[in-house]
Amino acid sequence: MFIREGTVKNYLPEFLGVALAFLLLNLWYLSGIAIEEGVVPKHYDHIIRIVTVSTSALVGAFAAFLFNDHLTHAKEKREKETLVADKVAVLNKALLNIALQLNAIGNIEKLLSRFTNEHELAFKMPAEKNFNENIFIDVNEIAVILTDYPQLLMEISVQQDGFIQTVESLKIRHEFYLKDLQPKMYELGILDRKFTVGEYEAALPYYLFKGAYDSVLVLQKNVKSSSEGLEKRFSDLRSACKELYPGHRFMNLKS
């Protein structure tokens, strides 16, 4: 039977305590016999008792020290576990916010996919809002945790700007459609008619015709960039989380 070195070290105080207690019991037993048989003079009885009491007090103090040390370590362990749990929660919140941003971008992609070409997008896409735009990652909050990942923090910060830019480009397109393009098309009686590109170009003022296409092209570009960028940032952030806290669970995107 073999005992690992680590196990012996862990139980060393207990072994020493048992050995010391055994020695004290033998000392007490032998001193009792010696006094009873007259081997040791009677006045040594007081000395033996003093030694026994002093040693017992020392053992008691040592045991109390070990117990308090155990309590201190247990408290420190709980505090450390709580701190780690709080950090894991902050990181999971950041992952959730990226996932929500991806969902918002996905809803815009669904809106765009309802139209077969840029021509339809420019003149037929309604001004709809079916997503939550008020989703942001507190980069300063996760920066305290991800101190060894400055590049990742910078990329996440840049991507947040990209998400805002995408949302703004959708707002600009919708505002342009509602305030400028749609009223003019209604005025000209071409709002619900199927026109070719040339017919729209001939009927509409140039700034409206060009603005209809430009606003859609910018929106498509921003949506594509945000979708790809957010997926990459989510993957990179999750990998960093698992490197820092491998024993904890972090949310993932459905494949």
Mean pLDDT within 228-250 = 95
Quote the tokens at residue 36: 């009873």
**pTM for the structure as a whole:** 0.70
Q: Compute the distance between CA of residue 176 and CA of residue 219 in angstroms, rounded to an integer.
A: 13
Identify the band that residue 1 occupies on the pLDDT scale cut at 50, 70 and 90: very low
Distances in Å between the Cα of 129 and the Cα atoms of 73, 108, 219 are 54, 8, 14
Q: Which of 49-58, 85-94, 155-164, 169-178 has the lowest mean pLDDT?
A: 49-58
Answer whether residue 30 shows pLDDT above 60: no
pLDDT above 70 coverage of the chain, percent:
67
The reported pLDDT for the residue numbered 202 is: 93
Are 16 and 59 contacting, i.e. CB atoms less than 8 angstroms apart? no
Tell me the per-residue pLDDT of 180-214, one tens digit each, with 9 for 90 and over.
Answer: 999 999 999 988 888 888 999 999 999 999 999 99
Angle among Cα 141, 144, 150 to the nearest 5 degrees reads 105
Q: Dihedral through CA 122, CA 125, CA 130, CA 136, nearest 10?
A: 0
CA angle 226, 229, 234 (to 5 degrees): 120
Residues 6 or more apart whose CB falls under 8 angstroms from that of 33 comprise: 39
Task: Pick from 41-50, 164-173, 245-254 the range whose average pLDDT is largest.
Answer: 164-173
Coil, strand or helix at 65: helix
C-alpha neighbours within 13 Å on the C-beta side of residue 232: 13
What is the arithmetic mean of pLDDT over 214-218? Answer: 96
Nearest partner of 50 among 74, 82, 27, judged by Cα: 27
Q: Are residues 250 and 242 in contact, defined by beta-carbon separation less than 8 angstroms?
A: yes
For residue 118 the two structure tokens come to 């840029």
